[in-house]
Structure 1
Amino acid sequence: MELRTLIALTTGTTLLTCVLAVAGVHSYATGRARRQALVDRLSATGRTTAEGRPRRFRALDRRLRRTRAGRKLELRLAATGLDVTPGEFFVCMLAAVAGLWLAGQAALAPFFGPPAGLLGAWAAVQFLNWQRQKRIEKFINQLPEMARILANATQAGLALRTAIGMAAEELEAPAGEELGKVSAQLAMGASMEDALGELADRLPSRELVVLVTTLVLSNRAGGQVVSALRNLTETLEERKETRREVRTQLSQVTMTSYAVPALGVGSLFLMDGVQDGALERMTGSPAGQAAVIVAFALYAVGFLLIRRLSRIDV
């Protein structure tokens, strides 16, 4: 009798343990799925985009986001507006570095493989900077219209939060997308100062800083938002025209800064084409390698000096 009772008790305990284990696994899987869905929604880096494009290298992407460099890369990619995750960009950059490394070794000489690889990494970073700057310029050109819409909405009696949401719907990208992010943050409980401050960090410019400061101070102190935005609209229009004139005047200098290093690289191909194997013999000795490194350094210094001297902050 006692044996039967012990067997029944053991069997019941085992079944109860199995049921609890299944329930625990199901609860864990459900919670993990909900957490991943929330992360995908907030970071806009889910498995697919709105168009259904599959995300690649998700494991590498998660590892990169845990590092400081990966988080900086994610912020820079967000500022460019590109539909690329940090993992995808990192893999593409490695592929470009490897391709240019092999191309430099095959086309010129084995010595030029590492410099060509470094050139690939530099080109990838410069591409991000170019995309970011282009988006910032486009955003700055939309600032007068944005200020005008906000002024009209606040003059009609709408709250500043509602006016920002209205401007996000009416404006095209990138201003519409960025204001949409601000409106979403405000809807989730973020303060006006934090949401607009994050916008200024993503797309840094003097014009945007002035607009953000005006909106934050007016919202905090309850000042005349309409009159401030009206005056700011005229100022932004004038700065827009000034920036366009300065950019037109400096276009030739900008092209010169890129032409100088291009001539140096072109001379290497010309030298190797005139006499086959000349570069390999030249870089076969320490003196030749040192001469090439010094030449590359001088071309880089010339590029930086031209860019620095032609930089005019408006």
Structure 2
Amino acid sequence: MILLAAALVFPLVVTLLVGGWWIWARSRKLRARVAGTSGGGPAAAVRVERSAGAGRWDAIFGKSALIAQATRLSEQAGRRQSATDLFLLIAAVAGVGAILGAWRTGQASGAILCAIVGGALPILHLVWKRHQRMKRLEEQFSDAVDMIARSIRAGNALTAAVHLVGEEMPEPTRTEFRQMSDEIRLGLDAGEALARLEQRVPTEDMRFFCAAINIQRGSGGNLAEILDRLSDVIRKRFELLSHARVLSAQQRYAGIFVGLSPLLFSILFYFLSPGYFDPLMKSPVAPMLIGAGLAMELVGFLVIWRLAQIKV
């Protein structure tokens, strides 16, 4: 027991020390580079922020699909942390979970299980934050398109209309359009800025918006009228989707409770009575029974969840 706890504590302490040193070194390097390029204007400041914010490990593993997905998930959730910081947080939480599992159960399997659950918590938190953020964006997007159309009809250019949305709309729409406006103002092509906006906000409404602007930039036409029609379509689509979500709420929550109740009750019984599952664990058919139960539980949850998903 003591050796197992020591084996789990040592990597955790090393991870925390290395992570703290790495964050301190990166912030020190950032301050030094900003002080050295203070006369380079806003474009130089943005280049310094991006190069220093990526981190050395992100630069080394920048082509990795895992690093790209972690960075994209953090951006879509509204967090400006790098993939390195996210992985350090996952390692720290997983280490704490492993220590608690080993202390409570005294077994390596319990420590590994708690480490997996703890390591998944930051990812689940970011997924939940991304879902909430995308939901707010969908609610505000039709008003943002209306504001752009009115600004263009008043004689402003598209960049000025996007800048107006970045100043007047509430969060999180303000942040996304302000970033797009800053990118265009610092010399980025409008088509590339739209592509980055679509990558940060992967919703159907945003795809329609970016496609409409790209088509108008290539073939011409009355952009204000196009955006007015697009705003009306988006608003009606959102109303229909909201009505469908209300009708399918019972099925969605039934799937969540059916899927989570066996796991939650198993964890509750395991911690309240540590020897409750010993007869099952000592049985030779325990792996087959547990695996079959988890597989059927997963299949049932996915079927119920898929039936409750309605696309408009």
1:1-314 paired onto structure 2 within 5 Å:
34=37, 38-42=46-50, 45=53, 65=62, 67-105=64-102, 107=104, 110=107, 111-269=109-267, 271-272=269-270, 277-314=275-312
**Runs (5+) with no aligned partner, structure 2:** 1-31
* 1:52 paired residue number: none
Check 1:39–1:225 CA distance in 2 against 1; reply closer, same or farther (3 A cut): closer
Do the aligned partners of residues 269 and 237 (structure 1) sit closer, same or farther apart at CA in structure 2, a change above 3 Å counting? closer
User: What CA deviation, in whole Å up to 9, does each residue of 1:210-251 have, x standing for no partner?
Assistant: 111111222232211111111112111111211221222222
User: What amino acid is the match of 1:204?
Assistant: P
| CA deviation vs aligned residue, 1:38-95 (integer Å, no higher than 9, x gap) | 544236839xxxxxxxxxxx66666565644223211211111024332222222223
Matched residue, 1:12 = none
Give the whole-Å Cα distance in 1 for the aligned partners of 2:106 and 2:280.
9
- Displacement after TM superposition at 1:290 (Å): 3.2
The gaps in structure 1 that reach 5 residues or longer are 1-28, 47-57
Matched AA of 1:93 = I
TM-score, length basis structure 1: 0.76
Residue type of the alignment partner of 2:199 = D
User: Residue 65 of structure 1 contacts residue 74 of structure 1 at CA under 8 Å; is this kept in 2?
Assistant: no
Mapped partners of 1:283, 1:193: distance in 2: 59
Q: Percent identity among equivalent residues?
A: 20
Shift of 1:200: 0.9
How far 1:156 moved relative to its partner? 0.9
- Matched residue count: 275
In 2, the alpha carbon distance for the partners of 1:132 and 1:309 equals 22
Hey, what's the Cα distance between the residues in 1 that align with 2:298 and 2:230? Answer: 40
The one-letter amino acid paired with 2:83 is: P
What SS class does the counterpart of residue 156 from structure 2 fall into?
Answer: coil
Contact 1:80–1:131 (CA<8 Å) still a contact in 2? yes
Deviations along 1:77-134, one digit per CA (max 9) or x if unpaired, are: 1111024332222222223323334444555673344334333344433322222122
Question: What is the CA–CA distance in structure 2 between the aligned matches of 1:196 and 1:122, rounded to whole Å?
Answer: 32
- Please report the TM-score for the alignment, with normalisation by the length of structure 2: 0.76
Cα deviation, 1:271-311, whole Å, max 9, x if unaligned, reads 54786513234324542233223322322222222222211
